[in-house]
Amino acid sequence: MGLIMQKMKRVTCPEELDAEIAEYGPTVLSVDLFDTLVYRRCPEPCTVFEIQFERIKSIIPAQSCESWRNLRSTTESRLSKRALPSEILIDHIYREIGAKTNSDWDAMCSCLDAELSVEQEVIRPYEKVVEVLKKWNSLGIEICITTDTYLPVNFIKSLLAGILTFPFMLLCSSETMCPKRSGLAYGQLLSMYPASRILHIGDNLVSDIKRAEEAGISTCLIDWGRRAFLKRNGLIIEYLKQMNIRAFNTPIELFPSTAIEGARHEVAWRWAAVLTDFLQSVEVAAHCYNADEVWFLSRDCETMYKVVKTDPRGLAPFLLKYVYASRAAVHPIVALRDPLLFETWAKKGVDEEVLDKARGASEAYTRLADDGSQRIMIVDNGWKGRLQVALQMALIKKDVRGFYFSLEDTAETESITNSDLFIGWDPSMINQSAAESLAGYSGPGCTGYQPESGDRWVPTFRTNERDVSPRDYCDALFTYLYEFWESSALSTRASLELRKSVIRELMAFPDYIVAMAFEGWGMYTSVDGIGEVAFQGGERLCTISKIIGRHVGGNLWPQLALWGVLSNRKLVRLLQATIYARRALKRN
């Protein structure tokens, strides 16, 4: 066994790979292809067969997606074992399937072509790994791509031609019939490069490490972390699958420079899945309501609005608008129509300053609505539904309906009656502060409206650097949400039960990744914006208060604050479950 095999040392990023190559000083670099140099944009290789099925189901009508996946996978596995120490070809797989299903060869050729088409679409390079290889090639080291695959050699050559811009050799088992897993590939490698100092780089302990070292070739075991990422995000992957999103990127391919950056990207990736489902629900609700306009209210809808406006598909045929609104800007409108209600909300009386703000806001929102529009649907996180009541008072000639993440049980009756919810209210799993911050807003808070030139009314703002989500999180959320939204289709929706499970897991049981992402992530703790705290810190509370999960100012997300005083993952999970159970019992 070689040194790396004995110590089970894993290279986890391109910088470490670069250092390993420099330390060993090879004259030849043999590089594994799949999961080392390239990856598939799907949870596992056989997901390719699920995507393929959507394109061939008219050719093989007796199959379901699941049965096709199983048939294709088991056929490959059986033939591969039978072929050892040699290799199988993709033609062999489809001839076997054709014989088993009594399908003619033309139909099987169509299936084969569909599989190659999907592979072409989902395979992507690890760009930073390519850069490392390019650097060492420019310094005189020969590069040989050594891969086990049933895919045609011409397909692999075409794939690599679009990835590698420097000279390289290719040892492809579908051409040589000498796979790594039997060790034959390494004999070929040694005969190609006699008396050379070879370093083989790969991710598989058997075919890339053990077999290479048995042949006397030094090795470097890599693990970019994609398998671990997919494993710990299995629930999100099932969620995406139910929305028919089977191919996607993850933060792993970016190789984030710091642990906090990586954590924020991962949390953004998770929440983007939730917001994709939310946007699908917005679209359904807008069609059911026959809305003329859909207003995305600031600031909770900032990133979602950017996504639907950037995507050519948008939310056709609805007129979309991003509308600056807040309690400070909208609530005064109520003072014009129902002063007592305003006093109840604001805990203060109506004075001339309030009335001036009310008249300005009322005029501004009236002018925002097109004359020809009758039905306006507002989109927001929700909670009490008071913005909807106030906007309806301003838009007296329009019909205003809401779509919310959720509304409290004690929300305004008018809003409860005239709205749709993404998820029913359940304080044991919904954390308001978390949902607002995860929404990904970076813009300032609106405080009201003032007249500009002519009849134009413009919003006024209050800016605070801690009253926003981190910039890197917002950018990542937009990237992943855009990709998911672009890939989704209304014909395939996630179940309500899975939606609840995902939200419960993210909010009631935030893991160490979320804790790391929220380091230094602050936001306001009260309506008027007084008092800033970091979510995880809960600085105002003693340790015992945080451990028992007191939900008070300074501890806006008790389940997350546990990570600030504890590091044992099992213990944190146990205490989170206790908080969840206590709140669920209280609600019932």
Model confidence pLDDT, tens digit, residues 528-572 = 223 344 555 555 556 676 777 666 666 778 888 888 888 899 999
Helix crossing, 47-56 with 105-122: angle to 10°?
A: 130
Same domain, 150 and 74: no
Same domain, 386 and 509: no
- Rounded to a whole number of angstroms, the distance between the first and last alpha carbons of the chain is 60
Q: How many residues does the chain have?
A: 588
511 in a domain, yes or no?
yes
The domain boundary residue, chosen from 203, 224, 245: 224
Residue for token pair 């003329």: 292
CB 502 within 8 Å of CB 273: yes
Other beta carbons less than 10 A from residue 214's beta carbon: 11
485 in a domain, yes or no?
no
**pLDDT > 90 in the chain, percent:** 76
CB 172 within 8 Å of CB 156: yes
563 in a domain, yes or no?
yes
pLDDT at 230 over 50: yes
- Mean pLDDT throughout 347-363? 91
d(CA 269, CA 438): 11
Same domain, 168 and 197: yes
The tally of domains found in the chain comes to 4
CB 535 within 8 Å of CB 510: no
528 in a domain, yes or no?
yes
Same domain, 297 and 379: yes
* pLDDT at position 541: 56
* pLDDT at position 587: 72
283 in a domain, yes or no?
no
pTM: 0.91
* pLDDT at position 313: 78
Paired sense of beta strands 457-462 and 532-534, if any: unpaired
Residue for token pair 């075991």: 221
User: What 8-state DSSP symbol labels residue 444?
Assistant: P
Paired sense of beta strands 169-172 and 38-40, if any: unpaired
pLDDT, tens digit, 9 for 90 and up, residues 425-467: 998 899 888 898 899 988 888 989 988 876 788 999 987 666 7
CB 247 within 8 Å of CB 230: no
Same domain, 110 and 130: no
Confidence class for position 506, pLDDT limits 50, 70, 90: very high
Same domain, 147 and 21: yes
Token pair of 329 as six digits: 């800007």
The domain boundary residue, chosen from 106, 122, 138: 122
pLDDT, tens digit, 9 for 90 and up, residues 67-114: 999 999 999 999 999 999 999 999 999 999 999 999 999 999 999 999
d(CA 435, CA 515): 15
Q: How far is CA 574 from CA 564, 569, 577, in A?
A: 15, 9, 5
d(CA 127, CA 372): 50
d(CA 544, CA 542): 6
Among residues 424, 473, 44, 36, the alpha carbon closest in space to that of 233 is found at 44
Type of residue found at 33: L
218 in a domain, yes or no?
yes
CB 173 within 8 Å of CB 185: yes
Same domain, 53 and 22: no
560 in a domain, yes or no?
yes
CB 244 within 8 Å of CB 488: yes
265 in a domain, yes or no?
no
- Mean pLDDT throughout 198-223? 96
CB 243 within 8 Å of CB 488: yes
Residue 309 lies in domain: 289-470
CATH number at residue 420: 3.40.50
Same domain, 350 and 427: yes
Same domain, 21 and 134: yes
d(CA 379, CA 184): 61
Same domain, 385 and 464: yes
Same domain, 406 and 453: yes
Other beta carbons less than 10 A from residue 116's beta carbon: 16
Same domain, 212 and 359: no
CATH number at residue 219: 3.40.50.1000
